[in-house]
Amino acid sequence: MLGYSNPRVLQIFENSDIEYRHFWADPNTFSPDETPDQRYARYADGAMHLACLAARKALSASGTRADEIGAIFTATCTGYVCPDLSSRLVGHLGLRSDVQRGALLGHGCAGAMPLLQRASDFALTHPGQKALAIAVEVCSAAYFIDHGSLETVVGNAICADGAAAVIVESANEDGSKTCGESIYPKVLAFQSHIDPENLDKVGFTQEEGKLRIILAAEIRDLAGPMIEKCLQGILQPHGLRREDIRFWVLHPGGRKVIDAASKYLGLGEEEIRYSRQVLRNFGNMSSPTALFVLESVVNSGRPKRGDLGVMMALGPGFAAEGALLRW
């Protein structure tokens, strides 16, 4: 089914530290040799279905009615549709006809941060209104078999399909937001660090009319310095040190990327436990994955009022995107 028979390649799959992955595909008909048209149809169908599921879960969990949403934003990189996903979701979710829309394309694994930033900008400039932000990917629609390339093997071994949604609104006067027994964080700041010289190290290219992943081996060496520069841009303006951060919401780009980032930042296993859990249970879903890690932190019940967190991911550009959180 996976298109590989080489034992050395299969070993990469087995040593990925991933136990479960989810795919929007019929196991009885799926083939790595899908035509571009078949991949487009599967992406369009899967992205809409998964985005709707995630959005409805977020609306229900926050006690938000569809007509309370003033803006909807989507992030994706594994397919393209026109009208965009945010426009298509308006009718499916029963949103208002005057809802604002926005689509972010091509930010890859770092897509959750610019997505949150757009939603936060809306909430800040529209007090009392709420924004719905959805990250959705069908990575299996970019499953490319290239027997001579390690990067496509690694991408096929770690990537998965999924979606995550979040409701963003202006904070209460004390800066807090609660829902049931959970305490939700406030976003204090966003930070980007872009290295155009390594633009070609991460992303997608087109071959034979299909998306083909670009995942250069140098990423493991570039990840640490990129994260460091982005982190300094987050902490220094607020007079903070690494020791002040209690929760690290790191995108699990893969086992070796987590290892490199944790080593460079001096983080112990306890501090990256949520990233490893999400990688183990879901794989790398690209843009939704960091939001899965954030949900794991929130649902753990460990955050207390005043706790600080840093959310961070690497993506095409080559870019490190981060956010400073306070519960």
Q: CA-CA distance, 284 to 18, in Å (whole number)? A: 9
Q: Report which of 78, 73, 76 is spatially closest to residue 55, judged by C-alpha positions.
A: 73
Q: CA-CA distance, 118 to 59, in Å (whole number)? A: 18
Burial letters for 74-88: b for 16+ Cβ neighbours within 10 Å, e otherwise? bbbbbbbeeebbbeb
Residue 257, SS3 per DSSP: helix
Amino acid at 284: N
Q: Report which of 204, 24, 34 is spatially closest to residue 109, judged by C-alpha positions.
A: 204
Q: Report which of 258, 278, 280 is spatially closest to residue 269, judged by C-alpha positions.
A: 258
Active site residue 109: yes
Q: Which of 52, 109, 159, 230 is catalytic?
A: 109
CB 134 within 8 A of CB 72: yes
Catalytically active residues are 109
